[in-house]
Amino acid sequence: MSYRQQFHPPPFYPRFQTLEAWNEYRQADQIEYQAIMDRNEAVFYEQYGAHMRAQEEQRAAASASAAAASHGSPLFTLSELGMDDSPNFQNFMDPPASG
């Protein structure tokens, strides 16, 4: 036996004796629902706006760093990478015998 078969939903008729009472209930419920949805929409747009601003700031920072990086040379040197060669060692194919 399903839950709904075992526990039937309460009937609306005893709660609302007249059609006017039912319509008042529906109108009040609709107003409450609309207020909840308006609040949810405001929160959504606030959070969405903050997210979009953060993304725009990240794009601007990435664009600025890319622009700054493009002013340098397009090739890296060993000194830029912190891997300076010893001035005594000039040719890796023919290393000095003493070492």
- Predicted confidence (pLDDT) at residue 72 exceeds the cutoff of 80: no
Domain count, the chain: 1
Tell me the H-state helices in 1-99: 3-6, 19-70
pTM tops 0.85? no
Other CB atoms within a 10 A radius of the CB of residue 25 amount to 13
What pLDDT is attached to residue 16? 86
In a domain, 29, yes or no: no
Rounded-to-integer distance, Cα 83 and Cα 89, Å? 13
In a domain, 50, yes or no: yes
Domain of 46 in residue numbering reads as: 34-64
